[in-house]
Structure 1
Amino acid sequence: MAKAYWVSAYRAVKDADKLAAYAKLAGPAIAAGGGRFLARGLPAKVYEYGLAERTVLIEFDSVEQATAVHDSPDYQAALAALGDGAERDLRIVEGV
């Protein structure tokens, strides 16, 4: 079974307090579901049409596991805490 990755790009952070509240809940929810943070922060370098925006990369054992964590009550509580505090693009990508 192929691993899966959450790729989350933050287009804008509108409320740092809401983002902090989200992070406090999201980190434990993701770790409890088997997610492993591989990278997070601003890019060291951008090329082509890349944007210098905060990016988070999280590894899971499968697409099913990644989806289950996203849809879990604990992660949904984290999203509720974030509310409109950030504009993000979250994708689940299957590994090769």
Structure 2
Amino acid sequence: MYDLPPSIKITTPPSNGVASVVQVRDHPAYPKTSHLYKCNERMIPMTAVKYQPNPGFTGTDHLGLQTNFTGSLRSPDKTEIAVEVTP
């Protein structure tokens, strides 16, 4: 279990907008079947990615992310995110 939110780095910026990494406080969303469900009542620090499309853009945009958990011995995770922008 990690006490800090993961670090997130944008490795490939979106082509049709702007993305940024922000620190927020929010409620977790554990399912009712989880032993951690009661934790949903508390606000915790989280890392989020904020996306703003370019004016007039609609369609699918992509960005690459790398996440790394503090204290983890694993290699950072890399993923590509597809963002659907509707009018």
Normalising to structure 1: TM-score of the pair?
A: 0.28
Higher helix fraction: Structure 1 or Structure 2? 1
Q: Work out which of the two has the higher radius of gyration on C-alpha atoms and give 1 or 2.
A: 2
- Higher RCO (C-alpha 8 Å, min separation 6): 1
Higher strand fraction: Structure 1 or Structure 2? 2
Normalising to structure 2: TM-score of the pair?
A: 0.30
